[in-house]
Amino acid sequence: MKKNRRSFIKGSAIALSGSLLVPIACQSSSKPGNNKTAAGKLTLSFEPYELQLKHTFTLASSSRTTTPVMLTKLEYDGYTGYGEASMPPYLGESHETAQRFLSKVDLSGFSDPFLTEDILAYIDSIAPGNCAAKASVDIALHDLIGNILEIPLYKLWGLNPDHTPNTSFTIAIDTPEVVRQKVLEAADFRILKVKLGGGNDREMINAVREITDVPLCVDVNQGWTDKHTALDLIHWLKEQGVVFIEQPMPVEDLDEIAWLTEKSPLPVIADEAVQRLKDMIGLKGIYSGVNIKQMKCTGLREAWKMINFARAYGMTVMLGCMTETSCGVSAAAQLSPMVDFADLDGNLLISNDVFEGVKVIDGKLTLPDRPGIGVIKTGDIL
Amino acid sequence: MKKNRRSFIKGSAIALSGSLLVPIACQSSSKPGNNKTAAGKLTLSFEPYELQLKHTFTLASSSRTTTPVMLTKLEYDGYTGYGEASMPPYLGESHETAQRFLSKVDLSGFSDPFLTEDILAYIDSIAPGNCAAKASVDIALHDLIGNILEIPLYKLWGLNPDHTPNTSFTIAIDTPEVVRQKVLEAADFRILKVKLGGGNDREMINAVREITDVPLCVDVNQGWTDKHTALDLIHWLKEQGVVFIEQPMPVEDLDEIAWLTEKSPLPVIADEAVQRLKDMIGLKGIYSGVNIKQMKCTGLREAWKMINFARAYGMTVMLGCMTETSCGVSAAAQLSPMVDFADLDGNLLISNDVFEGVKVIDGKLTLPDRPGIGVIKTGDIL
């Protein structure tokens, strides 16, 4: 944790240079050129990175082969915490926005990382949006705290690491041939998440079912437009061993989704319809569950609150991720003993991970016996 | 923390003897007679105690001079955590019910106190009700964890101890002469809580106002019966510098309270109407705030969740207590940086405290710089 200190270049200088795709370590600090972490001083560094996807990732609305992330590091009194912002383009954040946001972060007013609520309220107040960038600070801060206390975050939250769920592995929209191949490669998983809404729904499910009979969950990413067709399809999907349907229709179709949820034989889970804690109140009566993601909700602290809120509401709770390194995924996995379903496979979809952390063993999320988010940095970054 | 170990008598033997008012230390353990705390073993002890009130305590519905409490101790690997159940008679718990409940607690299945969610779910599952008895285990467990980590609980929760509110001091229903005397004695407080609903409301407020002009909050304990009279009184109370009204009418009068909340110029706060997290959902539209108490909601963990739930709902949040030693009050005070109003004066109303913990300095709750709930045992108990 205390190794790999190196020189940093001040973030604002990089922002001015504009060469954001070249991964260069940046430091947001009130004292440029001070490379040592002073006791009582919180220092944030960040570095853009481009995740390479093993397979082209096709959703109902888009297709891509890379995901930009911003990796962060918080240092305090010889301790280190790592964080990550994953920014799939459709969410509106980018290397440039994250760089701009993180360059504004001035932690000189905080001498104690344990003032988590204050620090994260300040981070949230810097600018609206920027949820992934905010999460990258939240994750690094929680990792730092866990490292200082020398306990994993699940222990800080009183959770039992044995209660982690199986994680689903995502099968993106593709031809039956590619789908079959991907399902074969996913033989270690006990539940699969199939992306639908691309116009070949039955073909997708049939291709999966040619290979495996594990439970399936389905993510439509708002891809269905007619509630009656959707309900027919859900009935058919239930017969195929599907356990829930995620974001079946566009978020603005509230009445249609409420109708579908009421009639659906499977739980209907909100994803794009919910970002943060404040959005939870409106879900009751429209969805029966929620997919909570750090990158949408600004990080672990708000995710923790959202899970508790959803539990009090009696909702099905799912924990999701973007394509992320093992840094982001291991952070989310620390919360996974609290949820019904986990879709924390983002690190398994990339070929250039720079962290080692949570493992999937026999399909189940297996938390490392290490403090904080439980990661080891394996790449030459930060 | 590791001092004052003494012999314990097994809880079940005491329960059979029936002499519950004699304070005798009891131990709930699978191994009676084992006085040492083995590593990896959680041991619960408990002892009944009777709080002596400085003044006769009169509410809208009852009057008393003592409050029965059960003090608890959890030991693990040489560390100790203290807890407390305070059981004002009108809530239905007693030394006898707490003794019966705590004697059923078998922690032999838990080798790690950090499995908080599992341990407290088990405690909650032992029997319905018994909320104060459950809180006594929850508090001791959190104190234990804080002591093991060597950090105060506010730090575990990421809270800023500087953000503690002023605590109100409670002025019970009495004659104008006694009220004036009590208000004089409460000169150190920056906010007072006046109990109304005893038929002499204006007389009570006038007596207070003869002595002080500090802000007042008003607790009616369901004592008002007519909503129109209540609304008139609230308008008058606002002119007298009252900042909120707690539980103005009987909990079952939902429509009347909703009407009153909508028309009231002051926040209307639920107390008797809410016990636990599950009750929070029904409050929206009926009350504008909530008074959360450990003894109602089974302890710190559920209180934390309730505060977050209320915040997401945009409700005013108040943290209350019963008459308690500094053990229970110091535990609640650890959460107080999260709330709008605190009514944590229960330890100040008694003459035989057996703990030292949170202090009121210039009216403000001041958290000790000690781990866990921050208490030192000062009495010969446990």
Residue A39: the pLDDT is 57
Q: Distance, in angstroms, between A274 CA and closest chain B CA?
A: 14
Note whether B276 contacts A: Cβ–Cβ < 8 A.
Answer: no
Residue B57: the pLDDT is 72
CA atoms of B243 and B310, how far apart (whole Å): 19
* Res B11 pLDDT > 50: no
* Res A178 pLDDT > 90: yes
Cross-chain CB nearest to B117 (options A116, A145, A158): A158
* Res A19 pLDDT > 70: no
* Res A161 pLDDT > 70: yes
pLDDT tens digits along B233-275: 999 999 999 999 999 999 999 999 999 999 999 999 999 999 9
Q: Contact A114/B312, CB-based, under 8 Å?
A: no
User: Which positions in chain B touch A305 (Cβ < 8 Å)?
Assistant: 308, 312
CA dihedral (B302, B303, B309, B314) in degrees, to 10, reads 170
Q: B220-253: b or e for each residue (b if 16 or more CB lie within 10 Å)?
A: bbbbbeebeebbebbeebeeeebbbbbbbbbeeb
Range with the poorest average pLDDT among B32-41, B202-211, B242-251, B256-265: B32-41
Cross-chain CB nearest to B281 (options A155, A278, A312): A312
Q: Contact B160/A278, CB-based, under 8 Å?
A: no
Note whether B115 contacts A: Cβ–Cβ < 8 A.
Answer: yes
Domains A9-150 and A155-377 share a fold: no
Cβ B157 vs Cβ B165: under 8 Å: no
Residue B79: the pLDDT is 98
Cross-chain CB nearest to A313 (options B117, B281, B338): B281
Q: Contact A114/B155, CB-based, under 8 Å?
A: yes
Do the bridges between strand A359-361 and strand A169-171 make them parallel or antiparallel, or are there none, so unpaired?
unpaired
Residue A249 vs residues A224, A286, A342, A347: alpha-carbon distances, Å: 5, 12, 21, 27
* Res A13 pLDDT > 90: no
Q: Is A179 helix (H, G, I), strand (E, B) or coil?
A: helix
Residue A64: the pLDDT is 83
- Beta-strand runs (E) in B87-212: 169-171, 192-195
Both tokens of A104, joined, read 């504004």
Q: Distance, in angstroms, between B284 CA and closest chain A CA?
A: 10
pLDDT tier, B104 (very low <50, low <70, confident <90, very high otherwise): very high
User: What is the overall mean pLDDT for chain A?
Assistant: 90
Task: Give the DSSP H/E element, type plus range, for residue A246.
Answer: strand A242-246
pLDDT tier, B21 (very low <50, low <70, confident <90, very high otherwise): very low
Q: Averaged over B144-161, what is the pLDDT?
A: 98
The secondary structure of residue B217, as a DSSP letter, is E
CA atoms of B341 and B90, how far apart (whole Å): 24
B188: exposed, middle or buried (C-beta count within 10 Å: 0-12, 13-18, 19+)? exposed
Q: Distance, in angstroms, between A381 CA and closest chain B CA?
A: 29
Cβ B278 vs Cβ A312: under 8 Å: yes
Neighbours of B263 (CB within 10 A): 14
Neighbours of A125 (CB within 10 A): 8
CB neighbour list of residue B306: distance below 8 Å, 6 or more residues apart: B276, B277, B280, B290, B292, B297
Comparing alpha-carbon positions, the chain A residue that sits nearest to B310 is A309
Residue A61: the pLDDT is 66
Cβ B275 vs Cβ B285: under 8 Å: no
Residue A1: the pLDDT is 35
Range with the poorest average pLDDT among A22-31, A88-97, B90-99: A22-31
CB neighbour list of residue B121: distance below 8 Å, 6 or more residues apart: none
User: Which positions in chain B touch A117 (Cβ < 8 Å)?
Assistant: 157-160, 337-338
User: Which positions in chain B touch A115 (Cβ < 8 Å)?
Assistant: 158-160
* Test the A interface: residue of B155, B297, B369 with most A CBs within 10 Å: B155
CA B128 to chain centre: 19
Residue B242 vs residues A352, B59, B219, B274, B342: alpha-carbon distances, Å: 62, 19, 11, 22, 15
Both tokens of A150, joined, read 């020398």
pLDDT tens digits along B282-300: 898 999 999 999 999 999 9
Percent of chain B scoring above 90 in pLDDT: 84
Residue B358: the pLDDT is 98
User: Which positions in chain A touch B280 (Cβ < 8 Å)?
Assistant: 312
Note whether B162 contacts A: Cβ–Cβ < 8 A.
Answer: no
Note whether A51 contacts B: Cβ–Cβ < 8 A.
Answer: no
Q: Is B43 helix (H, G, I), strand (E, B) or coil?
A: strand
What's the ipTM?
0.87
* Test the A interface: residue of B156, B157, B283, B290 with most A CBs within 10 Å: B156
Which of B10, B87, B4 lies closest to B43 in space, CA to CA?
B10
User: Which positions in chain A touch B155 (Cβ < 8 Å)?
Assistant: 114
CB neighbour list of residue A244: distance below 8 Å, 6 or more residues apart: A217, A218, A266, A267, A268, A269, A289, A316, A318, A341
Write down the CATH superfamily of domain B155-377.
Enolase-like C-terminal domain (3.20.20.120)
A240: exposed, middle or buried (C-beta count within 10 Å: 0-12, 13-18, 19+)? middle
Rg (CA), chain A: 20
How many contacts (CB atoms, under 8 Å) link A and B?
64
Which of A74, A124, A75, A134 lies closest to A102 in space, CA to CA?
A134
Q: Distance, in angstroms, between B302 CA and closest chain A CA?
A: 10
Q: Averaged over A134-161, what is the pLDDT?
A: 98
CA atoms of A14 and A23, how far apart (whole Å): 10
Residue B39: the pLDDT is 57
CA atoms of A191 and B326, how far apart (whole Å): 50
* Res A100 pLDDT > 70: yes
Domain coordinates in residue numbering, chain A: 9-150, 155-377
pLDDT tier, B169 (very low <50, low <70, confident <90, very high otherwise): very high
CA atoms of A73 and B130, how far apart (whole Å): 46
Interfacial A residues in 52-91 facing B (CB < 8 Å): none
Based on DSSP, count helices (H) and strands (E) in chain B, helices before strands.
Answer: 12, 17
User: Which positions in chain B touch A338 (Cβ < 8 Å)?
Assistant: 117
CA atoms of A156 and A150, how far apart (whole Å): 10
Which of B286, B271, B280, B273 lies closest to B343 in space, CA to CA?
B271
Note whether A153 contacts B: Cβ–Cβ < 8 A.
Answer: no
Do the bridges between strand B341-343 and strand B316-320 make them parallel or antiparallel, or are there none, so unpaired?
parallel
- Beta-strand runs (E) in chain B: 9-10, 26-28, 43-58, 63-76, 79-86, 169-171, 192-195, 216-219, 242-246, 268-270, 289-293, 316-320, 341-343, 355-356, 359-361, 364-366, 376-377
Q: Contact B160/A115, CB-based, under 8 Å?
A: yes
Residue A224 vs residues A171, A200, B123, B362: alpha-carbon distances, Å: 18, 12, 45, 61
Residue B199: the pLDDT is 92
Of B72 and B5, the structure prediction assigns the larger pLDDT to: B72
Cross-chain CB nearest to A156 (options B156, B159, B308): B156
Percent of chain A scoring above 70 in pLDDT: 88
Cross-chain CB nearest to A118 (options B120, B160, B301): B160
pLDDT tier, B27 (very low <50, low <70, confident <90, very high otherwise): low
CA dihedral (A139, B367, B374, B291) in degrees, to 10, reads -80
Note whether A162 contacts B: Cβ–Cβ < 8 A.
Answer: no
* Res B30 pLDDT > 60: no
Q: Contact A115/B158, CB-based, under 8 Å?
A: yes
* Res B19 pLDDT > 70: no
Residue A172: the pLDDT is 87
Q: Averaged over B190-212, what is the pLDDT?
A: 96
Interfacial B residues in 163-192 facing A (CB < 8 Å): 163
Residue A21: the pLDDT is 40
* Res B63 pLDDT > 90: no
Comparing alpha-carbon positions, the chain B residue that sits nearest to A120 is B158
User: Which positions in chain A touch B276 (Cβ < 8 Å)?
Assistant: none
pLDDT tens digits along A209-232: 999 999 999 999 999 999 999 999
Q: Averaged over B98-121, what is the pLDDT?
A: 97
Q: What angle do CA A213, A214, A219 make, to 5 degrees?
A: 110
Cross-chain CB nearest to B158 (options A114, A151, A281): A114
How many C-alpha atoms does A122 have within 13 Å on its Cβ side?
15
What CATH class is the domain A9-150?
Answer: alpha beta
pLDDT tens digits along A293-303: 999 999 999 99
Residue B13: the pLDDT is 32
Comparing alpha-carbon positions, the chain A residue that sits nearest to B338 is A117
What is the residue type of B353? D
* Res A347 pLDDT > 50: yes
* Test the B interface: residue of A42, A112, A115, A154 with most B CBs within 10 Å: A115
Write down the pTM of the prediction. 0.89
Note whether B118 contacts A: Cβ–Cβ < 8 A.
Answer: yes
